[in-house]
Amino acid sequence: MKVLVTGGSGYIGSHTIIELLNAGHDVIAIDNLSNSAKESLARAELITGKNIEFHEADVRDKDALDAIFNAHTIDAVIHFAGLKAVGESVARALYYYQNNLESTLTLLERMKQFDIKKLIFSSSATVYGDPDTLPIVESAPRRATNPYGQTKLMIEQILEDISASHEGWNITSLRYFNPIGAHESGTMGEDPNGIPNNLLPFISKVAAGKLDTLSVFGNDYPTSDGTGERDYIHVVDLARAHVAALDALNHPNEYKAYNIGTGKPVSVLQVIEAFKTASGVDIPYKMVDRRPGDVAAYYADPSLAQQELNWTATHTIEDACASTWKWQSSNPNGYDVIGEV
């Protein structure tokens, strides 16, 4: 297939492009580079030995989409483009609603215009909010608790309604849990702007001496060691889930959604210990109060994806820590390269 990947130079998008190319698909990437680096695609080309056509543009730009769709016969779209920081979404709610909803609606409009009806959407486990039971199944109530999660929930509703319109759309949403890790080569990984929002990039910055200490928010949860437990999914496993979903994208007028996780909760302290083992570096941390809105544990039941997509996570938390440290130690400044501005 010829696949358009929006947000293609981002953390998950770039890793997914590698797996798409390895599976024999042709890829066109579009990204406005607001929170990513074009260098990630250059490295994906080196890893795969294949070319990636890249368009630096915003998905809200109808002319840019028209130019791509006019120049190519696109078979399917994987839609990653969007703002994704929970904390920022609370502080800049309107910005998040405008960007994430408008970009998706523009994309869907142009896809319909060019009769492209196959779409995989990058959703999130945040659509479940504070779950009633664990592990979380796809039929659990959806009730996001922050603007970022609400945009994912709203978009899912739009996609579900479009699927029910009997216009022949094939749409699948993948609800990610906690993506971590890096490509095994150590040349690609997560490269957030500023201070990382997520646990593993923060730990790796502490290990590299770029940050002084890690704050662990709460040690009095009803979990195995008192710290919060999450379902950490390796980015390569997550990328392969998109290829599996693409292969199974033959269910016209039926909306599908899948949890993409391991089903295994891992605590903050367990992640710290795994990273210490992988890096050989001590990780100084301090216990602080719980953060408002955090829950004790959050993990998936991934059995539906295993059954219907023939996909399962194969990487461990140790694999994720080892690949993250290889990426961090080999690329202390992320994707910054000499000569680039």
The beta-strand segments (E) located in 185-304 are: 214-217, 229-234, 256-260, 265-267, 285-288, 297-298
At 294 the pLDDT is 87
User: Catalytic: which of 96, 128, 148, 258?
Assistant: 148
Cis before 284 (ω within 30): no
pLDDT of 180 over the 50 cut: yes
pLDDT tens per residue, range 21-73: 999 999 999 999 999 999 999 999 999 999 999 999 999 999 999 999 999 99
At 196 the pLDDT is 83
Q: What are the residue boundaries of the structural domains of the chain, listed by start?
A: 2-180+232-260+304-309
pLDDT tens per residue, range 274-297: 999 999 999 999 999 998 888 899
In what helix (H) or strand (E) does residue 178 lie, and over which residues does it extend? strand 178-180
Residue type, 196: P
Are the beta carbons of 200 and 279 closer than 8 angstroms?
no
What is the percentage of the chain residues whose pLDDT exceeds 70? Answer: 99
Mean pLDDT (whole number) for 134-140: 98
User: What does the alpha-carbon distance between residue 226 and residue 270 come to, in Å, rounded to a whole number?
Assistant: 11
pLDDT tens per residue, range 227-249: 999 999 999 999 999 999 999 99
**Angle in degrees, 0-180, between the axes of helices 317-330 and 199-207, rounded to the nearest 10:** 50
Tell whether pTM > 0.85.
yes
Which residues in 218-227 are b (16+ Cβ under 10 Å) and which e?
bbebebeebb
At 59 the pLDDT is 98
pLDDT of 159 over the 60 cut: yes
Q: Among all chains, which residue has been given the structure tokens 């992640």?
A: 271
pLDDT tens per residue, range 68-87: 999 999 999 999 999 998 88
At 292 the pLDDT is 83
Mean of pLDDT over the chain = 95
SS3 content of the chain, % helix, strand, coil (to 5): 40, 20, 45
At 337 the pLDDT is 60
Annotated catalytic residue 221 = no
> Which candidate, 67, 142, 152, 144, places its Cα nearest to that of 103?
152
Are the beta carbons of 21 and 48 closer than 8 angstroms?
yes
CATH 3.40.50.720 fits 2-180+232-260+304-309, yes or no: yes
Q: How many CA atoms lie within 13 A of 13 on its CB side?
A: 33
Tokens for 152?
Answer: 């994912």
pLDDT of 103 over the 80 cut: yes
